Structure 1
Amino acid sequence: MSCGIRNEIVENDFSEAGNNSRLSRAVRVTKLAVFVNVSLTIFKFAAGVLGGSAAMVADAVHSLSDLLTDFAVILGFQAAEKPEDSTHNYGHGKIETLAAVFVGLMLFAVGFEIFLSGLQKVLSVAGGAELSAPGWIAFAAAVISIFSKEGMYRYTIKCARDLGSNALAANAWHQRSDAFSSVGTALGTGGAILLGGSWAVLDPLAAVVLSFFIFKVAGEIFYKNINELLEASLDPETCCKIEGLIRSTDGVVDCHKLKTRKIGNVVAADVHIEVDCKLNIVEAHDISTRVEKRLRKACGNNGYFSIHVEPFPDSVHGMFHQGTDQ
């Protein structure tokens, strides 16, 4: 039995990866994103200016913001992978969650900037101003951005799922939001170029529409990770699976007071188990150890599990809730 932790952004399977390999892989994929974002930012700014495209300039700003989040993720991972110390008994995993919150806030800021810039141009057109149609270079830049950022999203989200990282998953969605932005830019610039005249307003209008997609992604990322910082419990389905695993352990009569949370990419759980009151302390401890081993196998060896043993007064020796250790 495994306890799959449901996550709107990424499905964490808590498969084991050494701290060093986890850090090196996360840094490797993020450094690749840095290279792609630097290249795209320069190219899109140039294409936006030369092609006279407001949507492409906004798109370039979005790519520039990706750079900031890339660096935040790298620093967050390096800090989160530090071992436990005397002042941080549960490690530094929350720093990774904090980095994901920062990514969400950056997405909000980017979405607002794109929305405001596009809206100003749309309103100016409504007031009688004329916009010149953008050049084909802006359209070409948008198409290149779509394929490169969608590719980065797929690569990054795969690594996020393998490593069970919310920060990487948030950064992956930041990459995809840039791809979404470029889709709108391509539609807007392409329509403005082909139709011309008053249809040039399609370029900034596309930027306004896509800002709402960015707000949606930012809200999902921010809500989930701020919830973790506030010590939110794991989802009900996962808690039920954990309770089922505990109750099916040989020697456990029942369990209660289960409390769960996440610390970075690891699970923490506190639970009270009830065992036959006729058992001696060694036998009761052995049952507790079996429960802990099964939890670690299902949820990851790096998890934090506190198991409190209580006597079950109504139990009869030998009539335990039998289960098979897995």
Structure 2
Amino acid sequence: MGGYLPETIVTNDDFTKMVDTSDAWIIERTGIRQRHKVAPGQRTSDLAVEAARVALAAAGRTPEDVDMVIVATTTPDMPFPSTASIVQQKLGTRPCAAFDVQAVCSGFVYALTVADGFVARGIARCVLVIGAEAMSQLLDYTDRGTCILFGDGAGAVVLEPVEGEGTSADRGILGFDLQCDGSKMDLLYVDGGVFEDSNRIGKIRMQGNQVFKHAVHKISEAAENAVIKSNLSMADVDWFIPHQANQRILNGVADKLGLDRDKVISTVAMHANTSAASIPLAWYIGVQDGRVKPGDLVLIEALGGGLTWGAAAIRL
């Protein structure tokens, strides 16, 4: 695992100078206390590269070992080429498959399961899966309902094949569930793009109450399906590492799944919602502080614009 956060920290108090809000109001409704923001000139690929270097070092690998790069992001450096190809160039890997996955906040779950397919079929043997976001670039700093929620950062994992027995005791991705309901796309979206005003960068628009209503139900259902497909039960889960959207959502999903809140890895207070980066960042923090260990069963989940959602059960 690897992670990286930009140096600039934006506190709740900083937002009181921009919109009608307060530190207490933000904490009560979201659990967020601060978030990180990219420096001028710093791009999503820069965040991704830093996280990737940490992950490769932890795995005892070098860029020359990498034979696939997958970047989950909704804030690419540019429409094309892919951020993954830019990361490949900056890391100095050999020519290999490199592409982006766009499922907004669910991106890392989607990307990890895509990588698993390539590894399981023997097509790739050392895959860099990165979630990287510069969400600050999509924020309307006059909209207090969205600008307080998001932060920037990146997390990465090195995925390689190992021998197993085909049982739930094996290491790796044991089961997953991915979903999307495009009829709900108007609940969370960016109001600009190639076919909009080309001189204006789109901003995040969200119907917060509706997203919250769908989040707990859909995420819980996907998490239950992922565990069932793994021939396991919630009692087997050692750590729940959710998408860090909102502390109330984290608590609601944990309670609905019957998971002890002490098993939840939460970084939302210090990182806010870093979209596709939030799961690998929280995972990295859990590894760094010694909570998450080899052999543990980890359950990850996310819901994002689309609406997309998904979950996966993973034995470390």
Do both proteins adopt the same fold according to a TM-score greater than 0.5, normalized to the shorter chain?
no
Tell me the TM-score normalised to structure 1 length. 0.26
Structure having the higher helix fraction is 1
Tell me the TM-score normalised to structure 2 length. 0.26
Based on CA coordinates, which of the two structures has the bigger radius of gyration?
1
Structure having the higher strand fraction is 2
